[in-house]
Amino acid sequence: MPAGILALSSNAGVLIAVAGLVVLVIAAAAILLRGRPKRTAPPDIPAAMRPAPSDTDLETPIFAKLQGWGLLLVVFFVIWVPLMWLREPTTNLAQERALKTDAIERGSKAVQLFSEENSTGIGCVRCHGVSLTGGQNLYNGSVVQVPNLTTVCVHRPPAHQERRRHLHDDRGRA
């Protein structure tokens, strides 16, 4: 018999012996453990009916826990409230700016002509010019002067004040 086959067969023998040993151990364990009584679970008593922990067990840990949570909450508020208070002006400013940006956006759409894409359009551009800079326009067959809307709020006294001044001049003040 060549050495290779001999080695193989002896290896196989060892394997079979080990497998047999494992089976033996498992079988022995099964036989030994079979007769043992199973561990009984503790009786199922409702929590409310079990004896209560002693006062010392109850008081100290619960008291310490409550104190710990109280301290944690106080520390949280001591940090959180001033932080929010200090950040408030910045937050408000950012909100104010965002609102203004939105308003400008809405306004720029409102002055344009109404269309399917621009449902909020009123069409001030129809008379006040494409870029709202005013000029002259035809209205009911006559040429009318339309004011510049881009400078309406800048360096100019309110319109009603001007009119009142004119009225006074017409009456001829003494």
Binding residues vs ligand HEC (CB under 6 A): 111, 122-124, 126-128, 144, 146-147, 149, 152, 159
> Of 109 and 123, which has the nearer Cβ to ligand HEC?
123
**What is the spatial distance between Cα 134 and Cα 140, in angstroms, rounded to a whole number?**
17
Which tokens hold the place of 128? 């006040």
Least spacing, CB of residue 118 vs ligand HEC, in Å = 13
Say how many C-beta atoms besides its own lie within 10 A of residue 6's C-beta: 10
> Of 76 and 114, which has the nearer Cβ to ligand HEC?
114
> Of 75 and 152, which has the nearer Cβ to ligand HEC?
152
Burial of 134 (0-12, 13-18, 19+ CB in 10 A): middle
Least spacing, CB of residue 96 vs ligand HEC, in Å = 23
> Of 109 and 127, which has the nearer Cβ to ligand HEC?
127
DSSP state of 141: T
Least spacing, CB of residue 163 vs ligand HEC, in Å = 9
- The alpha-helical segments, DSSP class H, found in the chain are 3-34, 55-110, 125-128, 159-171
